[in-house]
Structure 1
Amino acid sequence: MVAEGLHKLALQHSQEALENGALRPLSTDIETWAGSGDGGFEIRHLVGAPPRHLREAGPKPNPFRPWDQRLELTRVGNEHVLILNKYPVQLGHMLLISQSWQPQVGWLSLLDWTAVCQVNRDTGGLWFFNSGPQAGASQPHRHLQLLPRTKGVRLCPREEWFQQHLLNATCSRPMDSLERSIKIKPLPVTWSGSALLEIYLDLCQQSGLGSPQRDEKPLHPYNLLISTRWMTLVKRSCDEVHGYSVNALGFAGYLLSTERSNRTWLAAHSPEALLMKVVATDP
């Protein structure tokens, strides 16, 4: 049985961080979109000006060296710390960051995956990773993100789509255009850092990202989405299209619309068409 102690701790700290101003949730109006097939979307229309981390600007200070102590939840091993996301998608939104400098664009290591397993033994949910600016990452310091999910709560709007994608991938069934662009592999019932690392590197190899034995860093930007059952990798061509900046959560069914977003285009073409414009497809 998962204890979910970290989730409870995150909710408790979130209330304190709201009161002292360390936490700044985005104010949004939510629009649901049925999508096609098994995939749905939540389009979150931002109310007011975008926060600093979403604005186009020059170099930004590293918010994780040092991290805001008011957001810290717990140390994870000797190399990582779990903190609250300052601009949470939901209350309890967590970041697993490296304590020392590690680049977001570098290879995820055994230490990273071991830390993921340590957190996940207590609190699971939707893990995701944006490998760099072209994949929607707003910070260059290594961080993985977790949206906790309690039993019976839907993982994300496109959960059924990923379940069908996994079935199609393991049974060699016909795939739609997005499925053909996204690699997915099942996960073992019991996680270990070495098992997750092996699956991650296999997905990287399948997607043409290279390997740490030959390449200093992955050859292309990418996103990861991880549930209890599967890990999926999305090879990216660009971060933004038609004013929508898309990170890993876009493929999970969560899109953020700002004053720069072309809502008319989205209504005419669909969120799936938007996603296809930011994935890297093989020639």
Structure 2
Amino acid sequence: MGLRNLPTLVREKFEGAQAAGDIAYSPTQLTILHCNSLPFQLRYSPFLAQKPKSDKPKDVTQKPFDPFLDPPQSLLVAEVGSHNLVLNKFPVIPDHFILATKEFEEQTHMLEEVDFKAAYECLESYHAQGEELFGFFNSGEHSGASQRHRHIQFIPVESMRAGLDQKAKWSPLADSLTETPAPELPFTYFAAPLPVDIHPSDLHATYIGLHHKACQLVGTASPVDRGTESPISYNLGFTHKSMVLCPRTAEGLSIKDADGNTLGSVALNGTILAGTLLVKSETEWNAVRKDEQILLEVLKTIGIPTNTIDS
């Protein structure tokens, strides 16, 4: 089906699913932190701490539950060729939806042109309505990925801005990372601007190019065949204007007080490329927002530090 009215479809589906209790959503507390003058959203969601972990069958011969195979009608937004659009069952931000392959494909395998074709339809549908989407993809053990079934996630930018003070300056980080000179972050990233009306094959080629650079950085060969597993963990983030890829070496960092006592941990996924991160306990929330140095240390830990790159 066409996606010209996708923003409306997503909003109506989200409202209906929330009213019926088919999704578990609770508003977050929100503040702005800075790293090298770049704004990052810090969100606190105690409700998300109750989210069940991925179901692991007691019988090792039994396949784990796959939420994206034959999704319930209450969460299904639309079908896009070989993909389904489904609501995130545990959203932190309203209207968070997922583009998942109808048939099982591995999350750790390289994205294909057909994935980008469907993803770009989503971006275009929002852009045509004067709205913007942030898309992200988590791949590999250090990326924050929680499901094996291949899926790209989307969050409307306006939903991400909701709750911010009117004076707060924040926009998706990915769009800032294609500027010249490139902003400095504690981790290495590779970014490319996207031209208007880019073809899905060119979008895919841009992704392959960024992934190749990341593989070169960590000293491993890039995959060349379709259906090949990526040799690295990484996050991909993209908007209508930009694409960014960040190789990952750790999912997050334990945070400690001045006496060395562990207060909790901060784990990051691809939303960090939008400039947003999440904590699930009040102790973590208080610690991170009171000391921006913690944000810096977390960002240093998740990938390849920029000071290790030869100039």
Would you say the 8 A contact 1:210–1:218 is kept in 2? no
The secondary structure found in structure 1 opposite 2:177 is helix
- Residue 280, structure 1, aligned to residue 304, structure 2: yes
Q: Higher mean Cα deviation, 229-238 or 272-281? A: 272-281
C-alpha offsets along residues 61-88 of structure 1, whole Å, 9 cap, x if unaligned?
21112212211111101x1011111112
Structure 2 residue aligned with 1:86 = 89
| Pairing 1:181-220 to 2, within 5 Å after superposition | 181-208=188-215, 210-213=221-224, 216-220=228-232
- Structure 2: runs of 5+ lacking an equivalent: 58-63, 127-131, 163-167, 255-264
Structure 2 residue aligned with 1:139 = 147
Relative to structure 1, the CA distance from residue 143 to residue 214 in structure 2 (aligned partners, 3 Å threshold; closer, same or farther) is closer
Between Structure 1 and Structure 2, whose CA radius of gyration is higher?
2
TM-score, with structure 2 as normaliser: 0.77
Q: State how far apart, in whole Å, the 1-side matches of 2:286 and 2:17 are.
A: 37
The secondary structure found in structure 2 opposite 1:70 is coil
Q: Structure 1: which 4+ aligned runs deviate by more than 6 Å? A: none
Structure 2 residue aligned with 1:20 = 20
Q: State how far apart, in whole Å, the 2-side matches of 1:16 and 1:93 are.
A: 14
Would you say the 8 A contact 2:190–2:210 is kept in 1? yes
Would you say the 8 A contact 2:251–2:267 is kept in 1? yes
C-alpha offsets along residues 202-229 of structure 1, whole Å, 9 cap, x if unaligned?
0001111643316931111100110121
Structure 2 residue aligned with 1:51 = 50
Structure 1 residue aligned with 2:60 = none
- Residue 226, structure 1, aligned to residue 238, structure 2: yes
The secondary structure found in structure 2 opposite 1:67 is coil
- Residue 250, structure 1, aligned to residue 272, structure 2: yes
Q: State how far apart, in whole Å, the 2-side matches of 1:174 and 1:119 are.
A: 27
Q: State how far apart, in whole Å, the 2-side matches of 1:227 and 1:110 are.
A: 17
Instruction: Say how many residue pairs are matched.
Output: 271
C-alpha offsets along residues 130-165 of structure 1, whole Å, 9 cap, x if unaligned?
113420111111110111246xx79x9763754443
Structure 2 residue aligned with 1:111 = 114
Q: State how far apart, in whole Å, the 2-side matches of 1:10 and 1:265 are.
A: 35
- Structure 1: runs of 5+ lacking an equivalent: none
Q: State how far apart, in whole Å, the 1-side matches of 2:113 and 2:105 are.
A: 13
Q: Could you tell me how far 1:264 is from its partner in structure 2? A: 6.5
TM-score, with structure 1 as normaliser: 0.84
Q: State how far apart, in whole Å, the 2-side matches of 1:163 and 1:39 are.
A: 12
Q: Could you tell me how far 1:244 is from its partner in structure 2? A: 1.0
Q: Could you tell me how far 1:263 is from its partner in structure 2? A: 5.0
Q: State how far apart, in whole Å, the 1-side matches of 2:283 and 2:232 are.
A: 25
